[in-house]
Amino acid sequence: MQVEVPGLAAGLKTGDSIAVNGVCLTVTGSDANSFSTELSLETLDRTTFGSARAGLTVNLERPLALADRLGGHLVQGHVDGVGKLATASQVGDGFTIGIDFPPELARYFIPKGSVALDGISLTIAALQASRFTVAVIPHTWKVTNLRQLRPGDSLNIEVDMLGKYVERFLQLGMLNKDSRSLTVDYLKEQGF
């Protein structure tokens, strides 16, 4: 896949990571105006790239350096599923969008929880059985590809990473054996 992005591309080198629509990819080549990546079958199967077309506007984000300030929730570029834009409406100066999500992701969503859509870190405003709603401020609407989407369009979804780790922690039976409850102190002792 080749992405045209004058200005940013010149600073990329082979081996760099870059998120494209929320998918962590490796730069395999670059010039002053574009960069290239290779897509695995896993990436094509699990993301919207399997149906991507030339000319598509994408969201780009360079990785966070460990010493940098964190300005949102933790997003890795590891897509958990694909959702569909169900609704989009202007509310005041901003927008509210509804996303239909696959049933296997339902357990990771909570009201006021974090979610990444095409790499955009957002907060769940409302939650239903198979749809969540997020509010989008005018700046985010203006500088991302959200404004170009239409109902039925697909988006990459990355659920909150901490929720996945807690779930796995519980699956492995790593509870406090004495009280049979998960406490903040116990999580701290385990390195969370």
pLDDT in tens, the chain (192 residues): 999 998 888 789 999 999 999 999 999 999 999 999 999 999 999 999 999 999 999 999 988 877 888 777 777 889 999 999 999 999 999 999 999 999 999 999 999 999 999 999 999 999 999 999 999 999 999 999 999 999 999 999 999 988 888 888 888 877 555 555 667 777 778 777
**Cα separation, 155 vs 48, whole angstroms:** 6
Q: What fold is seen in the domain 2-61?
A: Elongation Factor Tu (Ef-tu); domain 3 (2.40.30)
24 contact partners, CB below 8 Å, separation of at least 6: 17, 18, 63, 76, 77, 78
Q: What fold is seen in the domain 81-161?
A: Elongation Factor Tu (Ef-tu); domain 3 (2.40.30)
* Domain regions of the chain by residue span: 2-61, 81-161, 162-192
Radius of gyration of the CA atoms of the chain, in A: 18
